[in-house]
Structure 1
């Protein structure tokens, strides 16, 4: 019998959908702050912020997932995550909660969920309240070429 693992997951929203990312990949959650634009980067890379002396590239997950843009509000947050040894900020509509998700409740992602290709998704978790939580695969949210670009920003 496979051992059930409880994952601590930060729940955040993009539009009407709720997404999850494992707490151990999240460094901090920040309020929206002015960004410094960086030329010659993909549109979804919104710029960089100075986070306690560290230059952190920031991407807009709506842009990354080709969702319609939305105005930033008081609820907008930047989730700072660690992806392949670099810190990256993810702009989300809101960061709502930390929950426990049992690993046996996570199923493989269908090819497309809410217009987002499956490669960006780790799976879909069925929560006890009947809701579905889309689990992100952070390693795929940024591909290797984009990570190389972001590493150059940090230098």
Structure 2
């Protein structure tokens, strides 16, 4: 583990991180709780003609139009039907200095937890089937590895 590396303002090995644990298929992802605004049960999604590949449409969140992103598409994963466990995680991500709400589809929301600083490592340069620039770092949760995505890079 490299402690001198800096990932999106967090020095690896120096600070723990509060995250929302979510499942996309059988993979575990951790979303920085600082980005999460709320978690919603699935609502109807309005499709938008010509949308980007991983943006599946828009939803109404208390009168605001919010784009819906399916990270399974962005990470070239198989798309599953909505289930009783499916949730929309409404996040606020900075786009060119403008805070923007985006709902992310999760197959299941597990819990809010902390990833200890000692378990954070840079994504390996080989052996990953995801683009490394989309991965902020890899952490350990219980006995599993968990991917902490770099949301700003995924959406910009």
**Aligned match of 2:131:** 117
TM-score, length basis structure 2: 0.84
**Aligned match of 1:146:** none
Whether the 8 Å CA contact 1:111–1:117 is kept in 2: the answer is no
1:101-136 per-residue CA deviation (whole Å, 9 max, x = no partner) reads 122321001236662211111111023x32111111
Gaps of at least 5 residues in structure 2 are 4-10
**Aligned match of 1:136:** 149
**Aligned match of 2:66:** 56
Query: Which whole-Å CA distance do the structure 1 matches of 2:105 and 2:125 have between them?
Result: 24
Give the CA deviation at 1:16.
Answer: 0.9
Give the CA deviation at 1:32.
Answer: 1.1
Whether the 8 Å CA contact 1:4–1:102 is kept in 2: the answer is no
| 1:64 to 1:6, Cα distance in 2 relative to 1, 3 A | same
Gaps of at least 5 residues in structure 1 are 144-155
Greater helix proportion:
1
Aligned-CA RMSD value:
1.9
Q: Does 1:69 align with 2:83?
A: no
Aligned length: 142
TM-score, length basis structure 1: 0.84
Query: Which whole-Å CA distance do the structure 1 matches of 2:86 and 2:155 have between them?
Result: 21
